[in-house]
């Protein structure tokens, strides 16, 4: 299953991680290193997906755990002040995400979500992408 050595892999990962810190850029580098071709921010699709892989009829959203209310997130902790304000804001984002996912699925797209916290373990993320694409 493992095609690259441990050393090579951590070298790859540190390159990817070092070059870009923005979650979306990290995912793009990762996909690129896996040989996938993709387009970015297709405005003609619901929710303007961050990454679009036309060949796989798949779109990817890279979600910030806080803004998109990642349930069971190992990193993000719910805010302790202005609780109602944030809860409403995040609930609105989640509802919009849900609707966009439904619309995309209706159009025949497969929708993948990648959470910001998943970028702390790129190897697991890489396997997830391999499995789901």
Does residue 62 contact residue 114 with C-beta atoms inside 8 Å?
A: yes
* CA 113 to mean position of chain CA atoms: 5
Q: Which helix (H) or strand (E) holds 128?
A: helix 122-132
**What phi and psi values does residue 131 have, to the nearest 5 degrees?**
-70, -35
Range in contact with Zn ion (rule: CB under 5 A) among 38-46, 63-71, 86-94, 122-130: 63-71
Q: Which member of 51, 65, 104, 122 binds Zn ion (CB under 5 A)?
A: 65
Considering only residues 13 through 52, tell me which ones interact with Zn ion, judged by CB under 5 A. none
Considering only residues 103 through 122, tell me which ones interact with Zn ion, judged by CB under 5 A. 115, 117
Q: Tell me which residue has tokens 């109602």.
A: 84
In whole angstroms, how far apart are CA 1 and each of 72, 75, 127, 132? 29, 29, 10, 16
Range in contact with Zn ion (rule: CB under 5 A) among 11-19, 57-65, 82-90, 125-133: 57-65
Provide the minimum distance between the beta carbon of 64 and Zn ion in the complex, in angstroms, as a whole number.
Answer: 9
Range in contact with Zn ion (rule: CB under 5 A) among 24-32, 62-70, 83-91, 98-106: 62-70
Residue 61 interacting with Zn ion (CB under 5 A)? no
- Give CA–CA dist 93/14, Å, rounded: 32
Total binding residues for Zn ion by CB under 5 A? 5
The site for Zn ion (CB under 5 A) is made up of 65, 70, 73, 115, 117
């Amino acid at each position: 299953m493992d095609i690259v050595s441990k050393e090579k892999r951590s070298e790859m990962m540190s390159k990817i991680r070092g070059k870009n810190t923005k979650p979306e850029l990290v995912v793009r580098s990762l996909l690129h290193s896996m040989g996938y071709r993709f387009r970015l921010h297709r405005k003609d699709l619901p929710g303007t997906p961050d990454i679009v892989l036309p060949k796989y009829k798949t779109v990817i959203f890279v979600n910030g755990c806080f803004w998109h209310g990642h349930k069971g997130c190992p990193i993000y902790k719910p805010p302790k002040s202005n609780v109602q304000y944030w809860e409403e804001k995040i609930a609105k984002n989640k509802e919009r995400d849900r609707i966009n996912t439904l619309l995309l699925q209706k159009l025949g797209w497969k929708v993948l979500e990648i959470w910001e916290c998943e970028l702390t373990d790129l190897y697991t993320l890489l396997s997830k992408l391999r499995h789901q694409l």
